[in-house]
Amino acid sequence: MKKTLIISALCLFAMLTPAQAQDIVYLKNGSVIHGTIIEHIPNHMVKIETSEGNIHEFNIEEVEKMVFTPQVNPYQAASPSLSTDSGDYLKKGFRAFVEFAVDVQTDQETADDYNGFVSVPITLGYQVNKFLFVGAGIAPGITSNGSPYYYDYDNYNHYYYDYYDDDFYYRPAYNSHFVLPIYGALRFDFINAKVSPFLDMRAGYSVTDYSRGAYASVAVGCRVKHFNFSIGYTFQDRKDYDKFNHVAFRFGYGF
């Protein structure tokens, strides 16, 4: 019984003990030496130490070939959770982003006519390499008019001032309008890791009547795994209205 326990313990120890990677030296006389190459002078000599502790030195003319075995930490290889970030987080292939954005008006000239908008940008594209993403998307959203420029207390009517016509026009207060910018997108992740700063650039055209015109945006942010946080500046030209510029705050998730 005791002998069986000893044999079992030895077998278990052998299974748990990582195998030692060995180099191999093949000699022209047919001999094969296993061990660790402890010295190698190209075109001159090689010295190998066997597992028994014997050291053999051979002239390079005696050697047919040598095989160097990479030294791998078996515990780290068997436990991926112990390894650090390999720097290979972003890979080529399809990539998508869904964001929630709040844009705040910064142009005081049109602030009385426009309060900003909320939108849900959706961007689809391709990760070209570990750092560059190219894609396109849409940003459906809702805008609201700002406070009326003039209020007629006698008749309870709201008016706004048209800078082009230099005149006041009636309009209901706080109207909402649907906007739909369609854009191409470039994104550059500075670090190929789970946490990275990034630069996001978009340019396109808004197709709805209220905001019809050129659209452009540039933002900087931080990606934490799949989550994205950014702040940027957006320009929106409007064919039939004053253009407006705004600061955009975005929170999103990447696939």
**Following DSSP, what letter does each residue of 41-109 receive, concatenated?**
ETTTEEEEE-TTS-EEEEEGGGEEEEEPPP---HHHHH-GGGS---S--S-SEEEEEEEEEEEEE--GG
Q: What is the pLDDT of residue 161?
A: 53
* pLDDT tens digits for range 199-229: 999 999 988 877 788 999 999 999 998 999 9
Residues 100 and 207 in one domain: yes
Q: Enter the tokens of residue 157.
A: 């009517």
* pLDDT tens digits for range 93-142: 999 999 999 988 766 554 445 566 789 999 999 999 989 999 999 999 88
pLDDT confidence bin for 91, thresholds 50/70/90:
confident
* Residue 212, helix vs strand vs coil: coil
At residue 235, φ and ψ (nearest 5 deg) are: -115, 130
User: What residue numbers bound the domain in which 225 lies?
Assistant: 93-254
Predicted TM-score (pTM) of the model is 0.56
CA distance 206 to 234: 12
* pLDDT tens digits for range 41-82: 888 889 999 888 899 999 999 999 988 876 555 444 444 443
Residue 7's H or E segment, with its range, is helix 2-16
The answer to the question of residue 87 being in a domain is no
Residues 27 and 137 in one domain: no
The answer to the question of residue 88 being in a domain is no
Residues 177 and 226 in one domain: yes
| CATH number for the domain harbouring residue 192 | 2.40.160.20
Give the single-character DSSP code of 29: T
Which of 82, 110, 130 terminates a domain? The answer is: 82
Which of 47, 82, 117 terminates a domain? The answer is: 82
* Number of domains into which the chain is organized: 2
Neighbours of 234 (CB within 10 A): 24
Residues 195 and 215 in one domain: yes
Determine contact, residues 111/105, Cβ cutoff 8 Å: yes
* pLDDT tens digits for range 128-148: 998 999 999 999 988 866 544
